[in-house]
Every structure is written in structure tokens, then in C-alpha cells.
Amino acid sequence: MRIIPAIDIINGKCVRLSQGDYSTQKIYNENPLEVAKAFEANGIQYVHLVDLDGARSNKIVNHKILRDIASLTNLKIDFGGGLKSNEDLKIAFDNGASQVTGGSIAVANPTLFLEWLSIYGAQKIILGADCNHRKIATHGWVNNSDLDVVDFIQAFEQKGIIYVISTDISKDGMLSGTSNELYQDIIDKTNVKLISSGGVSSIQDLELLKKIGCEGAIVGKAIYEKKLR
């Protein structure tokens, strides 16, 4: 199972939120590039870079940070946040993203999202399936829907999606353990490569996610708060 550290960006700084609430932001480093270089120095190969400013607006905001990390490290970057148009997608790939994650766009404009999947392929386009009480949430987790997360993933799997990142918003940033029942359900009912996100608080959590069958695990606050020892 891949361990994928998260770098979330607000106002150009590396931050973490609790349950997606922007008012809870805690700044961990003024320079995200320093964070990325530290991860690479410790053997990390992948990073999940989220433009939280972009997630709240209608376009990518922090693409220069993406460019700096991509050009000054060898990390493979999955980029998300603010992907609303073909131009946004071009900006992300032109600035060094290895993969991009689309969540809100897959709900708001599935035709465009599937067009991206057709053009760039399933190795480049990740489905973001973030949920609250198993219902898909979008636009920086501000908007809730009536879409069941498993149904949502199954529908896009039928269209060719391979990689899925699923965050249980209630767990995100809480250091309270991961949504193992949810992830087991997704793995039992689909054949996607599932990347878990949210709630990791210990090495034991990661061992359980591996046992369940997750392809990767995104880890944020547990790293920054030095819980993985």
C-alpha cells in the first residue's frame, strides 16, 4: 500500500483543517516546498497536493506551488482543488501534476469529467468521492448531495475510472481512526484502486487499511502532529 502525504494549501501556506472546516485551519509551514522536500528526503515518492483556495473558487489558484514542487523534487504529484474547466486541467498538467483528482466536477459536470477521462486516460484522472454520512459532498465540502458514495463510484467505474480517493469528511483531520467499514464496502462492491483519506491516527490504522485492501492511504495531520511513530 502506498503512503501518500497530503499538502493542503491556503494562501500559499501548508495547512490542515478539521472536517473540512476552513475556520479550523492550522498552519504547519509557510513554505510547502520545504515540506515536500522533507517528504522526499525521507523516501516518500508520492504526494497529494490540494489547492483549498481553488476548491472554494472557480479555478486553480495555487498552481505556482504545484510547479515549484514538481520542478524542484522528483515527487509524483496528485493535484486537486479548483479543477472546473479544460483550462484548469491544462494548467495542472502543464505545471507538473502526474495525476489530477476531480470530485466536484464529476458531480456538477459529469460529461466534462468523462471527457477528461477519455482524453487523458484512467491512469491520469482520479475520481474524488468525498462523503459525509455516505453522501457525496462537493465544492470544498461545503455542498452536500443525495448521492450515495458507493453508487457514485460504481457509476464512474462503469465508465472506466480505475483510481478513487474517498474521504470520510467526519474523520478528516480528527485523528480518530479511519472509516474501515466504508472502505471495506467500497472494495467489496467495486474493483477500483481505492485510496483512503481521513482519520489516520497511528501505524495501526495504516496496517488495517492495508489489510482491507486499499491501494493507497493519504495521511495528513498524523504526520504533521508526529503521531506515526
Distance (Å, rounded) from C-alpha 38 to C-alpha 36? 5
Residue with cell 493542503: 8
Are 9 and 51 spatial neighbours (Cβ–Cβ below 8 Å)? yes
Are 47 and 7 spatial neighbours (Cβ–Cβ below 8 Å)? yes
Radius of gyration of the CA atoms of the chain, in A: 16
Are 10 and 28 spatial neighbours (Cβ–Cβ below 8 Å)? no
Instruction: Calculate the CA dihedral of residues 96, 99, 103, 104 and round it to 10 degrees.
Output: 30
Residue with cell 516518500: 44
Active-site amino acid positions: 8, 130
All three cell numbers of 29:
509551514
All three cell numbers of 150:
458507493
